[in-house]
Amino acid sequence: MQKSSKLFFFSFILLVFTFSFISAISEVFVQTQDNAIVIEYPKIFVMKQNEDFHLRFHAFNKTDGKLLTNESINCTLNIYDSSGEGLIRKENLEFNVSHTENDCQHCFGHHISGGNFSEVGSYSYLIRCSNVGIGGSASVGFEITSTGLDPKSILNNSTKIILLTLAIILLIVGGALSFSSIGFIGSILLILVGIYTMIYGLNDVVSLYTQAIALVEIGLGIIFMFISAYEWLPWGKE
């Protein structure tokens, strides 16, 4: 492989890696178990720190699909923090019969104070509904962040998207057209993107996940910088 094509080759690898990362979907733990009761809950997996949460869900008979009420079943709610400590245990959840503003009709629910979410991190809740001979449950993991945005998604961070896109374009152009100087600038920009991620994380949330991404970006930037610098120098063109 000629030296002039090395930068393009590595830039292509970076491009594939980046788009794989952007399109990756955050994994959220969801587990449901039921004998005769199906629990339908809101698919909310990221919430804002210190913000109240109105949990609402419906329960249905698995056999005929009919809605179940507090006249036939009892439902319990448990909420746990990232260390597994129980924050809330609420039995005999209230049941809304009529529709009111910002609420649902014929659903179970509970108002959860934002004080329970004072720390960012991973949480989970367990819903259990049962009666004599029947039962059903839903266990759902969710994240509490300072912004209410998914900490593992780059799509909500326009600054990072712009900087990373510009770095990739410069690296590809520099490699494809054998402009090592342009590739060198792109590699420096990629290193700066990694430093930005290390400091601010994704969506202003810094975690081991974002730090790992930052190290990958910085490492790739350094590799591209040495490759482009080598080809930029006189002996690299021999």
Q: Of 176, 172, 126, which is closest to residue 2 (Cα–Cα)?
A: 176
pLDDT: which is higher, 210 or 38: 38
Question: Which domains are seen in the chain, by residue range?
Answer: 3-25+151-237 (no CATH), 30-145 (2.60.40.10)
Q: How many angstroms from the chain centroid is the CA of residue 27?
A: 7
d(CA 124, CA 91): 17
The token pair that represents 74 in the structure block: 């009892």
Buried b (16+ CB within 10 A) or exposed e, 162-200: ebbeebbebbbbbbbebbbebbbbbbbbbbebbebbbeb
Q: What's the chain's average pLDDT?
A: 77
Banded pLDDT at 158 (limits 50, 70, 90): confident
Which residue in this structure is represented by tokens 């190290």? 215
Q: How many angstroms from the chain centroid is the CA of residue 198?
A: 17
d(CA 149, CA 204): 9
pLDDT for 29: 46
pLDDT for 23: 46
Task: Tell me the per-residue pLDDT of 39-94, one tens digit each, with 9 for 90 and over.
Answer: 888 777 888 889 998 888 889 988 888 888 888 889 999 999 878 888 888 888 88
Task: Tell me the per-residue pLDDT of 185-198, one tens digit each, with 9 for 90 and over.
Answer: 888 988 998 888 88
Least confident of 33-37, 164-168, 225-229: 33-37
Determine the average pLDDT of the residues in 138-158.
Answer: 75
d(CA 56, CA 65): 18
d(CA 105, CA 38): 17
Residue 13: which residues within 8 A CB-CB, separation 6 or more? none
pLDDT for 32: 52
Angle at 89 between CA 37 and CA 32, to 5 degrees: 30
Strands (E), 16-106: 30-34, 37-40, 46-48, 53-61, 74-80, 86-90, 94-96
d(CA 94, CA 91): 9
